[in-house]
Amino acid sequence: MDYEQLGRTGTSVSRIVLGTMNFGDRTSEEDAFAIMDRALELGINFFDTANAYGGASGRGATEEIIGRWLTARPGVRDDLVLATKVHSPMRDRDGGDVVNARGASAWQVRREAIASLRRLQTDRIDLYQFHHIDRHISWQELWQSMEVLVARGEVVYTGSSNFAAWNIAQANEIAAQRHFLGLVSEQSLYNLTQRSIELEVIPAAQHYGLGILPWSPLAGGLLSGGSKDAKARSASEGIRSQREKRGAQLDAYESFAQERGWTPSALGLAWLLHQPGVTGPIVGPRTVEQLESAVSALDISLSSDDLAALDEMFPGPGGQAPEAYAW
């Protein structure tokens, strides 16, 4: 396993991040335990989840699965950098207080931090992330709530997810005014088919010392080479439609991988690992085999010619703004 410092922090994390969104939904608890066990064996020390994950098992179910796994393995907790998120609605419309049960108000952040700690059966969240931008609160309120959690030892670092570049700038400039560390990471949609963050988010993240954690690194399975498994995201109607639209492009991509002895999935992850500012892609395996395949991306070294060929297949925006479109 390779490791990288998380943004401008002194904490080192694995360059493959274990995403857990499938746990409790497409992956049984037994299989989730096996995946987490194997992740540790492979040297993965960075696990990512969210308060709302759980799918068919209900909101919060994924954190509960991780909590039971941690409890069953005494001593493991301190070997992990455990990340979760706050923002998504946690109540149905007929489930009580739905007015405040979402977003990143100080009231909601405090309530959800307590709930996540309870579900995860841990005393701290190593990376607490805002799952989306909340346009209804001030940065002062946001940082005050985090400062309290950090002071209490319940949160170590803060990060963002789905923030625009100017949100990152706003957040960290105001954090600096408050003598607070601010954001150290940003989770963004980033893969060969979706490279918009190269325009502004990546430059902003690099400037402010945030590590980029790409989510959906294989475009929901579009870059995986396809699957006959009905549970696979790549078997969904939306991905099948995209495969039809991008048929020639994906054929060229898959042939490129096959000619070099790589799987399409490993190639897609390896490309991200070669991009500036990327700490590590978040992979969401449903099986141990998928996890092991993801880790094989670390063994792929892409030459400048390889990277140029992939750029030709999947053109980006042309670099960062404004040069990408103004000159």
Write phi, then psi, for 76 (nearest 5 degrees).
-75, -30
- Return d(Cα 172, Cα 162) in angstroms, integer: 15
Write phi, then psi, for 207 (nearest 5 degrees).
-65, -40
Nearest in space to 293 (alpha carbons), one of 309, 269, 321? 269
* 3-class DSSP state of 280: coil
Beta strands 3-5 and 12-14, pairing class: antiparallel
Choosing from 3, 53, 128, 253, the catalytic residue is 53
The one-letter amino acid code at 94 reads D
Beta bridge partners of 19: 48
Beta bridge partners of 17: 282
- How many helices, marked H, and strands, marked E, lie in the chain? 12, 10
* 129 token code pair: 């992330």
Beta strands 81-86 and 46-48, pairing class: parallel
- Return d(Cα 26, Cα 28) in angstroms, integer: 7
- Return d(Cα 185, Cα 206) in angstroms, integer: 10
Residue 157 bears catalytic tag: no
- Return d(Cα 294, Cα 290) in angstroms, integer: 6
**38-72 burial code (b ≥16 CB/10 A, e <16):** bbeebebbbbbbbbbbbbebebbbbbbbbbbbbee
Beta strands 211-215 and 17-19, pairing class: unpaired
Instruction: Supply the residues annotated as catalytic.
Output: 53
